[in-house]
């Protein structure tokens, strides 16, 4: 029962909620997706957090999309230990880059009075959720080896089953 709630009902509920709220927000309060553009307030300081964050998270996200799209090829690639090491170390480095970037952005928001003045509670919540998500990803990469192979063999079949509306937990 708990497995069904966590791995079947919650993913669909989260997706539905995200779509419905996004559409509702667009029509009721369009163009409100903003952190009040702190870029204009301190662009030099923003560079040292924003660039590592965006490069790191985009590369990590791309890796996850590739693993989702072609899991058999990822497993084939991982069949040679040297290539597996390169993939795992590269992914870890970009994960760490994203972690450094998000920490830098959070510190900047907290320490700069000008930025703090235009920071909403939701800005802080989103940054903290992203921090936890990236930190957990780095933790998994550090302490549970060969995550790319696990992702291709375990997570991708589950995610695909959700995608085709036929959840399969086993």
pLDDT tens-digit profile, the chain (170 residues): 888 888 899 999 999 999 999 899 888 876 666 555 555 556 666 788 899 999 999 999 999 999 999 999 999 999 999 999 999 999 999 999 999 999 999 998 888 888 888 888 888 999 999 999 999 999 999 998 888 999 999 999 999 999 999 988 87
Give the global pTM: 0.84
CA-based nearest residue to 50, from 107, 7, 4? 107
DSSP 112: -
- Give the per-residue pLDDT at 31: 66
Contacts 24+ apart (CB under 8 A), 11-17: 11/162, 12/162
Integer CA distances (angstroms), 101 to 49, 75, 85, 95, 142, in order? 4, 30, 24, 10, 18
Instruction: Give the chain's radius of gyration (CA, Å).
Output: 19
- Give the per-residue pLDDT at 39: 56
Which burial class, exposed, middle or buried, applies to 38 when counting CB atoms under 10 A from its CB (0-12, 13-18, 19+)?
buried
Distance CA 153, CA 101 (A): 30
- Give the per-residue pLDDT at 96: 98
- Give the per-residue pLDDT at 32: 64
């Amino acid at each position: 029962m708990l497995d069904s709630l966590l791995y079947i009902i919650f993913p669909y509920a989260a997706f539905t909620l995200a779509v419905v709220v996004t559409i509702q927000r667009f029509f009721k309060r369009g163009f409100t997706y903003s952190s009040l553009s702190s870029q204009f307030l301190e662009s030099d300081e923003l560079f040292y957090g924003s660039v590592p964050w965006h490069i790191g998270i985009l590369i990590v996200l791309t890796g996850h999309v590739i693993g989702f799209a072609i899991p058999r090829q990822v497993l084939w690639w991982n069949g040679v230990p040297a290539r597996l090491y390169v993939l795992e170390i590269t992914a870890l480095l970009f994960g760490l880059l994203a972690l450094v970037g998000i920490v830098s952005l959070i510190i900047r928001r907290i320490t700069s009075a000008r930025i703090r003045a235009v920071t909403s509670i939701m800005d802080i919540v989103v940054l903290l959720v992203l921090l936890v998500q990236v930190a957990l990803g780095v933790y998994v990469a550090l302490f549970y080896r060969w995550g790319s192979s696990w992702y291709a063999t375990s997570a991708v079949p589950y995610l695909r089953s959700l995608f085709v509306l036929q959840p399969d937990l086993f």
